[in-house]
Amino acid sequence: MKGRVTALAVVLLAAPLVVMFEGIEQRVYSDPVGIPTACVGETDREVVAFKQQFTRDECLAVMGASLQAHAMEMDKCITRPIERHQAAAVLSWSYNVGTRAACGSSLVRLLNEGKPFCQEFDRWTYAGGRQLPGLVRRRAAERATCEGRR
């Protein structure tokens, strides 16, 4: 994900994947583990506290800005070049789990060591101590994207 042009390309590749699994919810709601969320899975307190209802365009703008910010944060902890499709999968996943968890994960460690890492998506299917069917589907799609099968 090195560089602005590459980061933008990765954001554009990751966005449809994120929308497919997050959906676009124009009202603030609680996610499956009770976190206040809005738009396309946005949990940033500043955004969620901003207002209770958003337009579709506002939601897409928030998602674009958030994905770009996540890409820049992930760029700090990924030390080797990866393919765009792999970066898009990593970005979708980090958007969901948070950059702190992502950067400290075995997935990023393996990636940085140049070892196979796409299988690690399968480990990230739990929230609040329970496996969620939606996360199982999302991680399968992210793994397929990472492996170039999607």
- Per-residue pLDDT tens for 75-109? 999 999 999 999 999 999 999 999 999 999 999 99
Catalytic residues: 22, 31
**DSSP alpha helices (H): ranges in 23-150?**
45-48, 56-77, 84-97, 99-103, 106-112, 133-146
CA 142/CA 46 separation, integer angstroms? 28
Query: Residue 1: pLDDT band by 50, 70, 90 thresholds?
Result: low
Question: What is the dihedral sign for C-alpha 55, 21, 145, 75?
Answer: positive
The closest of 129, 145, 86 to 110, measured between CA atoms, is 86
pLDDT mean over 42-64: 90
pLDDT band at 17 (very low <50, low <70, confident <90, very high): very high
Residue of 68, 71, 58, 65 whose CA lies nearest to 24: 58
Q: With cut-offs at 50, 70 and 90, classify the pLDDT of residue 6.
A: low
Segment 6-33 mean pLDDT: 90
Asked if 92 and 145 touch (Cβ cutoff 8 Å), the reply is yes
Q: Which residue's structure tokens are 């800005």? A: 65
Range of the domain at 125: 4-146
* Number of domains forming the structure of the chain: 1
Average pLDDT over residues 64-70: 94
Give the long-range contacts of residues 115-122, CB within 8 A, separation 24 or more. Answer: 117/146, 118/86, 118/89, 118/143, 118/146, 118/147, 119/143, 121/89, 121/93, 121/146
Q: Long-range contacts for 54-59 (Cβ within 8 Å, ≥24 apart)?
A: 54/26, 54/27, 55/26, 56/24, 56/26, 59/24, 59/25, 59/26
Here the CATH number for the domain that contains residue 43 is 1.10.530.40
Q: Is the pLDDT of residue 67 over 90?
A: yes
- The pTM score is 0.91
